[in-house]
Amino acid sequence: MKFFKNFLGLLFSGLLTMTAWGQGKSIDRIVSKVDNYIVLQSEVEALYEDMIANGMKGADRCQALQNLVVQKVLVAKAEIDSVTVDDKEVEAQLDRRMDYMVRTQFGSPEKLMEAYGKSIETLKSELRKQLREQLLSQKMRETITGTIKITPSEVKKFYNNLPKDSIPYFPTEVEVGQIVKIAKVGKEQKEEVRARLNQIRDRALKGEDFAALAKQFSADGSAQEGGLLQMSKRGEMVPEFEAAAFKLKKGEISPVIESEFGFHVIQLVERRGDEYQARHILLRPNYSAVDLQEVERTLDSLRTLIVNDSITFEKAAKLHSEDKATAPSGGMISDVNTGSTRIFTDNLEPGVYFAIDTMQVGTVSKPIVYRTDDGKSAMRILYYKTKIAPHQANLKDDWQKIYEAALNEKRARALNDWFVKAKEEVFIEIDEDFSFCRILSGMQ
């Protein structure tokens, strides 16, 4: 049996797809039961559509249903074995994934709400249970497969046993590094934002509802919830925000404070020891109006030092880059799915793709205008480190990919062995309309 692929990355977008799939459709139905858990037709359709959209060749509704049934068995066994996930972990994941969807697919919370016809809080409420199940199933899989190791000889055996026509052909891959410098906001711009936020704060102090003001003025994703943030522990928020929050009494409103995200006014909702919940209103300066000349001069100087071998690109990135995601690794950009620094050109950010298209391997670009994920104006220089030509996978050039594939197959076998035993401990029912899929018999 070919065990289900690692599809957790699809499930969250699949859940959102499910909410859209259900709109305009009057009937949804249960197609499988696993103990106290159910699989709906809409869930199968949503996951199937996402599998197709993500290029999973040969995917069909049987595979989608199989994936979902296995997930429910993992969750049911987690309940039996007293495996749990923390509420805060669920909320943190929910916030991160919603923010990612807003940033990468919709551009703003308003556009997301318009697309689904629901508020952010309503969407979160609908997705919270499904996300908890995802995290539980993931935790169960980790308990089953987390200690599995694989030896170099097993990797070679896995590769040598692949049919020749099944060895993958990899398109062009590249390794690219970046050094990012963010344009600094001038004193005049900061004072203007601070003055605007103080005016809003004065309105709250005079009795206007803080949550309503947050909805109207805040530039943060929490605006739709009246600026309400999840319960946080000491050390989880940026220091400036946390220091101000811990000075407040319940219901009290802070002075305007500045952090790396902009300017905040905070209202404490609740505090329990080292945990607290707050609302805030965030205003940001107009980053489009900042002066990039100083940033360009700095990057030009760094580039000259690198080109003249006075400093390596990696060291310069660690010392000077303001991109927190890439600076620790010497500026190297990683694939969002695999974490590898070798990235298929089709998966590159468009700005990087078009920049290196005119560069030679081993060269460093001149400063390029760049916009950070949180909307700040910046510039960066790119280092075109490596280019790997299209080729059929081999042990010399693709050891890490083959290693991961062999390890995943070994984990899949262990998970499948576990499932054969686990399915005898839980009740599983498949709708007769899906009996042709042979979901249960196919896992022997």
Query: Can you tell me whether residue 278 is helix, strand or coil?
Result: strand
Tell me the residue type at 327.
Answer: A
Q: pTM, whole model, 2 decimals?
A: 0.63
| Domain 187-286 part of CATH 2.60.40.1120 | no
Please say whether the beta carbons of 108 and 102 come within 8 A: yes
Contacts of 319 (CB under 8 A, 6+ apart): none
Q: Detail the DSSP E strand segments found in 284-427.
A: 343-344, 368-371, 377-388, 391-392
Q: Which two tokens stand for residue 205?
A: 């102090």
Residue 149 burial (10 A CB sphere; 0-12, 13-18, 19+): exposed
According to the model, what pLDDT value does residue 20 have?
Answer: 47
Q: Which two tokens stand for residue 9?
A: 């990355």
Please say whether the beta carbons of 59 and 51 come within 8 A: yes
Rounded distance between C-alpha atoms, residue 381 and residue 368, angstroms = 6
According to the model, what pLDDT value does residue 22 have?
Answer: 46
Intrachain domains 8-153+397-443 and 187-286 with the same fold: no
- CA-to-CA dists, residue 237 to 230, 261, 277, 291, angstroms: 11, 11, 11, 29
Per-domain residue ranges for the chain? 8-153+397-443, 169-185+289-392, 187-286
| Domain 169-185+289-392 part of CATH 3.10.50.40 | yes
- CA-to-CA dists, residue 390 to 169, 172, 332, 361, 387, angstroms: 7, 5, 21, 16, 10
pLDDT by residue for the chain (444 residues), tens digit each? 333 334 444 444 455 544 444 444 446 799 999 998 999 999 899 888 888 887 777 788 888 898 899 899 999 999 888 988 888 888 888 887 877 777 667 777 777 788 888 877 788 888 888 888 889 999 999 999 999 999 999 999 999 999 988 899 999 999 999 999 998 877 888 888 999 999 999 999 999 999 999 999 998 878 888 999 888 888 888 899 999 999 999 999 999 999 988 899 999 999 988 889 999 999 988 766 677 888 999 999 999 999 999 999 999 999 999 998 999 999 999 987 778 899 999 999 999 999 999 999 999 999 999 888 777 889 999 999 999 999 999 999 899 999 999 999 999 999 888 988 888 889 999 998 888 887 776 444
According to the model, what pLDDT value does residue 288 have?
Answer: 65
Please say whether the beta carbons of 200 and 213 come within 8 A: yes
| C-alpha closest to that of 340 among 391, 397, 400, 410 | 400
Q: Which two tokens stand for residue 411?
A: 């984990």
Please say whether the beta carbons of 88 and 51 come within 8 A: no
CATH number of this structure's domain 8-153+397-443: 1.10.4030.10
| E strand or H helix that includes residue 165 | none
